[in-house]
Chain A
């Protein structure tokens, strides 16, 4: 693709949401739109956008940061009446076939987390919001 130097393949260098969105575009996958959340700002400012994304049928949101480089994906958002807000967080490190959804929840692989707890104020974040193009949506219906 040309985004990385020749020695990148086979290395242990980092990738993140930027590289993921470029791969999605390059290999014809779902669209991945990037949203940057500056350090210290937190995710509360993006909750409305996340809510609209999921309410509109958007797919998982990949999350990457710097100080917080723990892999996570967002599958949903719940906004309370006051300042309460929760995100449904998936840990993508799971592998194998789970016996049941409750097994995944009990083991902590997926679950609701309060936004302030799930995100480190000392880290910036990039979000990659995935969604099917109208052409891709039509193909899944055919």
Chain B
């Protein structure tokens, strides 16, 4: 069974250079060659999920592993594109690749 992975980096904690979460998505449809071995980070976890898994579940899992609230977290690409979690993990991988970041959601409004 072919596997691909998301590498999700926590960027909101300046005390750590990075924390990395690897999520493996099982699907022959999504198979791609991944270069080299994964670099080791301060924290690594692995989870196998079907490609049809809602990306909300990926976000929830990543947030739990990094001990941040899922409801006030968002996942973006390394070049800053926001990812709407209302799609499948497979879609996210095809559109945005595997290198992602988890950030806290901000608030705008008080004057």
Contacts and interface: CB of A to CB of B under 8 A. Distances in A.
B86 interface: yes
Contacts of B76: 18, 34, 36
B13 A64 contact: no
Interface stretch (B19-27, B34-42, B43-51, B102-110): B102-110
Interface residues of B, number: 24
Interface residues of chain B: helix, strand, loop or mixed (majority): loop
Interface stretch (A98-106, A112-120, A124-132): A124-132
Contact of B106 (A3, A66, A93): A66
Interface residues of A, number: 37
B1 interface: no
A118 B11 CA distance: 23
A71 B80 contact: no
Contacts of A91: 111
Given A18-B105, A70-B111, A129-B80, A38 B12 contact: yes
Interface of A: 1-3, 14-22, 25-26, 32-36, 38-41, 62-66, 69-71, 91, 93, 124-126, 129
